[in-house]
Amino acid sequence: MTNFKLVGKLIYLSLVALHLLAPLTLAQGREVLVADVDGPVTPVMQSFIERAIEEADVRNAEALVVRLNTPGGSVDITKRIIQSMIAADVPVVVYVWPPGGFAASAGTFITLAGHAAAMAPNTSIGAASPIDASGQEIDETLRAKLENILVADIKGLAERRGEKAIEWAQEAITEAKAANEDEALELGVVDFVARDVDDLLEQMDGFRVEVNGVERALSTADADIDFIESTVLEDLLSVIASPQIALLLISIGGLAIVYEIINPGGYISGIIGAILLLIGLYGMGQLPVNYAGLALILLAFALFVAELFTHTFGALTTAGVVAFIAGALILFNTSEFAYEIPLPSIIGIPLSLAAVFGLGVRKVIQSRRTQPTTGQEGLIGATGVVRVPLEPRGSVFVWGERWNATSEDGQPIPAGEEVQVTGVDGFRLKVKKLMGGK
């Protein structure tokens, strides 16, 4: 009986010890997930952020840190990202990073939507005013409509950050205001300025946030850090959705298709070109595109192709280069997104295309001027030797074969004489005696 009592006491003490140690065990298991988000706001970015939030929730993470560096992007996609962040059951901290990075345009909205926000040194935020398709000012009526919608949205996101933050957020829309990290911290636009994630977690420890209406204090000082890696497919789609890569794929795809037109019959270049062109168009479909710019680029290819079938001596190719450059300059400048493709690419791609097309035109012209060397047409001008005297019919030996032949002028030509083919009538050659022959 005594042994049973002893065992019972040991079990009771063990349960008490487990109960007391449980908070320590949970504290030691705290983790913060970090997701790097870089580039334009696209469906690929939206999918990655949503997956990161879901994984952080499943793993019961203390917080999810989204390291953001973006020039902006689609307003509709930005709103969906914001909705996912607000509905998250885990605190989402938006950290503008790395040093030298920025959260421009749509990135400003995403930063303000975080349960907490931070910036790295030498970063910036803001400049979210609407522009037209060519990057210029838009008319007052349309501008007022766009601004009113965007101001209402951004004021709602900045409301909990105080009057200074609300005023600055509004001016970021109406006056394209921007701020560096120190200015943003002073205005209350962000909560922290941190050198890196470790510094951010130290500063956030004890910071109170509201998640789905419930206020909670972050406990991040000793949390483990784990990075959410993008999948191979996400990396591939992200590369394709890059403005410069999308333009390059369309250019190479169009070039391959035109090469197939110049040299028909192989089909390989045409198939590869069609694949690259479709992938490039998919990449552009992930970005806010100025369709006037896309139309100019397609017009450039049409002019390049037209050069192959006309005799404009390079005029259409020159026009194509101009159309391509103009299209590339405005292709990714819309009211939602402004991205400048590097000037060397804008100039280099069409000049390279023009050089290839010029070579293609030269080959086409040469092929039209070249005397045929095969088939019946190739026989004209060939020389041979009479085997059976032409009186006026007989036979000749041309290209290693015996042919029935007729004297062109009806005059007899004896055997052994050298003759030249002047025409082909079915399987009979018309020949004449070579001057200076035997």
CA 410, distance to chain mean position in Å, is 72
Amino acid 329: pLDDT: 85
Q: Residue 336: what residue type?
A: E
DSSP 122-186: T-EEE------TTSS---HHHHHHHHHHHHHHHHHHHGGG-HHHHHHHHHHHHS--EEEHHHHHH
The structure tokens listed for 122 are: 């030498």
Judge if 30 and 157 occupy the same domain.
yes
389 domain residue, yes or no? yes
Of residues 204, 49, 42, 178, the one with CA closest to residue 116: 204
Amino acid 162: pLDDT: 95
Judge if 70 and 9 occupy the same domain.
yes
C-alpha distances out from residue 318 to 56, 299, 300, 302, 314, Å: 55, 12, 9, 12, 6
DSSP 181-244: HHHHHHHTSSSEE-SSHHHHHHHHTT-EEEETTEEEE---TT-EEEE-PPPHHHHHHHHHTSHH
Judge if 261 and 276 occupy the same domain.
yes
Amino acid 303: pLDDT: 87
Last residue of a domain, one of 232, 262, 287: 232
HEC profile for 236-253? HHHHHCCHHHHHHHHHHH
Judge if 351 and 215 occupy the same domain.
no
65 forms beta bridges with 34, 93
CA 91, distance to chain mean position in Å, is 31
269 domain residue, yes or no? yes
103 forms beta bridges with 70, 125
Residues designated catalytic: 105, 145
Last residue of a domain, one of 324, 354, 369: 369
Judge if 316 and 341 occupy the same domain.
yes
What is the C-alpha to C-alpha distance for residues 89 and 92, in angstroms, rounded to an integer? 9
Judge if 206 and 72 occupy the same domain.
yes
DSSP 21-63: HHHHHHHHT-EEEEEEEESSB-HHHHHHHHHHHHHHHHTT-SE
Amino acid 373: pLDDT: 54
308 domain residue, yes or no? yes
Structural domain span for residue 341: 242-369
Amino acid 27: pLDDT: 41
Judge if 39 and 180 occupy the same domain.
yes
Do the strands 418-425 and 383-388 form a parallel or antiparallel pair, or are they unpaired? antiparallel
Query: Which regions of the chain are under pLDDT 70?
Result: 1-29, 130-143, 265-266, 311, 334-340, 357-358, 360-378, 436-438
Judge if 113 and 200 occupy the same domain.
yes
Phi-psi region of 119 (alpha: psi -120 to 50; beta: other; left: phi over 0): beta
Phi, psi (rounded to 5 degrees) for 337: -160, 135
| pTM of the shown model | 0.69
- We report the CATH number of the domain holding residue 405 as 2.40.50.140
Judge if 360 and 402 occupy the same domain.
no
What is the C-alpha to C-alpha distance for residues 433 and 406, in angstroms, rounded to an integer? 11
Cβ atoms of 294 and 323 within 8 Å: the answer is: no
Amino acid 290: pLDDT: 82
Cβ atoms of 259 and 364 within 8 Å: the answer is: no
438 domain residue, yes or no? no
